[in-house]
Amino acid sequence: MSSFDNLMAFQRETEALSQVAGRLGWDQETVMPRGASEQRAEEMAAIDGVLHARRTDPKVADWLETADAPDDAAAAQIREIRRSFERYTKVPPDLSAEIARVTSRAQGIWAAARAEEDVPAFLPTLNTVVDLKRQEGEALANGSAIYDAMLDDYEPGATAAMLEQMFGALRPRLVDLRDRIFDAAPGPELTGEFAEDDQLALSTRLAEVFGYDFRRGRIDKAVHPFSSGSGDDVRITTRTNPVDPFNCFYSTIHEVGHAAYEQGIDPVYALTPLGRGASMGVHESQSRIYENQLGRSRAFTGWLYGQMTDCFGDLSIESPEAFYAASNRVHRGYIRTEADEVQYNLHVLLRFDLEHSLMTGDLRVDDLEAAWNDRFKADFGFAVDKPSNGVLQDVHWSVGLFGYFPTYTLGNVYAGCLHRALRQAVPDLDTQMAQGDLGAATGWLRETVQQHGALLLPRDIITRATGSAPSEAPLLKYLEDKFQMLYGL
């Protein structure tokens, strides 16, 4: 066998084991008995150890040295295996172990501090996490910027400078739009009680409409919705709230976007480094365009209004037009995960600037809460009332996820670019969506983005799919057009 064949055979087993590890994670969040958590931690640590040893196996370095790529796909496989090998060998094993140990404890300390509204109880731990992550960043960066090295874990090729420019253009226009909406009359709101079984039945129907393949997937309930797995086993979860069926429906559509991406990848890439989404940002572009540009469009909500009336009887809302406004309602709120399309990115931009400053050393952990509260007041127009609604609301920093937040907004930016190109490719999109037919839209996304998996780098995927480099301009235009119309601005 050639070096390339050896490399791919070895990698295939690593990928299979990594899918097994992912499925243990799925199980833990869905059906695992509560009493199993300690044993499960040991099981996961054992499989992580095996995976780490395989990812840093010296044989991989030898094969990489001599592997020849017969074609572009093979060259991309080698690129991804090399990236992973370097990622895992650059960080000293002691430091990796220390980060794993500290962050697994930090998550509990964060949760307790949040429950008690006690920021000082969390800060010493966060200080340690920040310090360790900066050490890791230094090891990965090899003399260049620490934060850019961290971004590379989630969004290969992205840099802080690139994001600062893009986000800097978004922020003032979004603050201005949010300001004008808050000055206008509030939109209609869906009220009432909605039975869980009916919500789940309609949510299953929505997953089908958006092309989720149930033969290779399943839906379960979880506290925080997520998608898990690749290839022929891609599972999603959703949740219900008796007074807010939109929460269930749009969580499902969002996760179907992630899952459709994994299910849509060319099967020849299954169990290889190309058999997964290209980055967190591209992944989020699929979930966001399914959820927002398609799922919250005037045309599709018109169809959904009919479905909901069939399912629940008369609603508190009397027309498809008002239903469209209710499903796009902009509301004051503190929490990122509950934010509407207008304000969501402001939440992300805040976190990006703060975590970037923590990593460059311009912001000290002791000053983080004050910096958060000042920025929140400036961008959202009112003050944070308690830490669980402010600096303690997200789990990310406690578990060492620095460089992850910006991929949420990058996903929205990519979704904006893809949506503009999709509208040009499918001129009668609204007529189709008004009948609950998403086939042309999801087919175009599969063709231009999903089937390629990680063949291309994120920026190149968007550029090839849309004909131009990623830019925030289409997202801004989409948001301003949509919400100025909705709120009569």
- Window contacting Zn ion (CB under 5 A); options: 20-28, 138-146, 285-293, 369-377: 285-293
Q: Which residues in 127-166 contact Zn ion (CB under 5 A)?
A: none
Nearer to Zn ion, 328 or 412 (CB): 412
β-sheet bridge partners, residue 238: 221
Nearer to Zn ion, 287 or 388 (CB): 287
Among 287, 327, 398, 448, binds Zn ion (CB under 5 A): 287
Nearer to Zn ion, 287 or 292 (CB): 287
> Cα–Cα distances in Å, from 73 out to 34, 69, 454?
43, 8, 10
Sorted by sequence, the CB contacts under 8 Å of residue 42 that are 6+ apart come out as: none
**Shortest reach from residue 364's CB to Zn ion, in Å:** 31
**Shortest reach from residue 411's CB to Zn ion, in Å:** 7
Nearer to Zn ion, 14 or 287 (CB): 287
Contact 238, 255 (CB under 8 A): yes
**Shortest reach from residue 287's CB to Zn ion, in Å:** 4
- Window contacting Zn ion (CB under 5 A); options: 158-166, 174-182, 187-195, 287-295: 287-295
**Shortest reach from residue 308's CB to Zn ion, in Å:** 24
Size of interface with Zn ion, in residues (CB under 5 A): 1
Contact 466, 415 (CB under 8 A): no
Nearer to Zn ion, 261 or 305 (CB): 261
Contact 349, 171 (CB under 8 A): yes
Nearer to Zn ion, 387 or 458 (CB): 458
Residue type, 351: R
Q: Which residues in 378-397 contact Zn ion (CB under 5 A)?
A: none
Please provide the DSSP assignment of 201-225 as one string. Answer: HHHHHHHHHTT--GGG--EEE-SS-
Nearer to Zn ion, 130 or 234 (CB): 234
Tokens of 401: 């996820």
Q: What span, in angstroms and rounded, lies between the C-alpha atoms of 169 and 160?
A: 14
| SS3 labels along 39-88 | HHHHHHHHHHHHHHHHHCCHHHHHHHHHCCCCCHHHHHHHHHHHHHHHHH
Catalytic residue, chosen from 15, 255, 291, 341, is 255
Q: What span, in angstroms and rounded, lies between the C-alpha atoms of 61 and 121?
A: 44
β-sheet bridge partners, residue 235: 228
**Shortest reach from residue 238's CB to Zn ion, in Å:** 13
- Window contacting Zn ion (CB under 5 A); options: 77-85, 133-141, 279-287, 444-452: 279-287
Q: Which residues in 452-471 contact Zn ion (CB under 5 A)?
A: none
Contact 343, 362 (CB under 8 A): no
Contact 222, 268 (CB under 8 A): no
Question: Cα angle vertex 62, ends 58, 65, to 5°?
Answer: 135
Please provide the DSSP assignment of 124-142 as one string. Answer: HHHHHHHHHHHHHHHHHHT
Nearer to Zn ion, 166 or 256 (CB): 256
Nearer to Zn ion, 129 or 410 (CB): 410
Q: What span, in angstroms and rounded, lies between the C-alpha atoms of 408 and 415?
A: 11
Contact 147, 403 (CB under 8 A): yes
Tokens of 450: 């999903």
- Window contacting Zn ion (CB under 5 A); options: 70-78, 268-276, 281-289, 360-368: 281-289
**Shortest reach from residue 199's CB to Zn ion, in Å:** 20
Tokens of 261: 């991406």
**Shortest reach from residue 442's CB to Zn ion, in Å:** 17
Q: Is 227 in the site for Zn ion (CB under 5 A)?
A: no
- Residue among 292, 295, 276 at smallest CA distance from 450: 276
Q: Respond yes or no: is residue 80 known to be catalytic.
A: no
- Window contacting Zn ion (CB under 5 A); options: 108-116, 145-153, 182-190, 284-292: 284-292
**Shortest reach from residue 297's CB to Zn ion, in Å:** 19
Residue nearest to Zn ion (CB): 287
Q: What share of the chain is helix, strand, coil (3-state, %, to 5)?
A: 70, 0, 30
Q: Which residues in 161-180 contact Zn ion (CB under 5 A)?
A: none
**Shortest reach from residue 488's CB to Zn ion, in Å:** 31
- Window contacting Zn ion (CB under 5 A); options: 138-146, 235-243, 280-288, 364-372: 280-288
Question: Catalytic amino acids?
Answer: 255
Binding site for Zn ion (CB under 5 A): 287
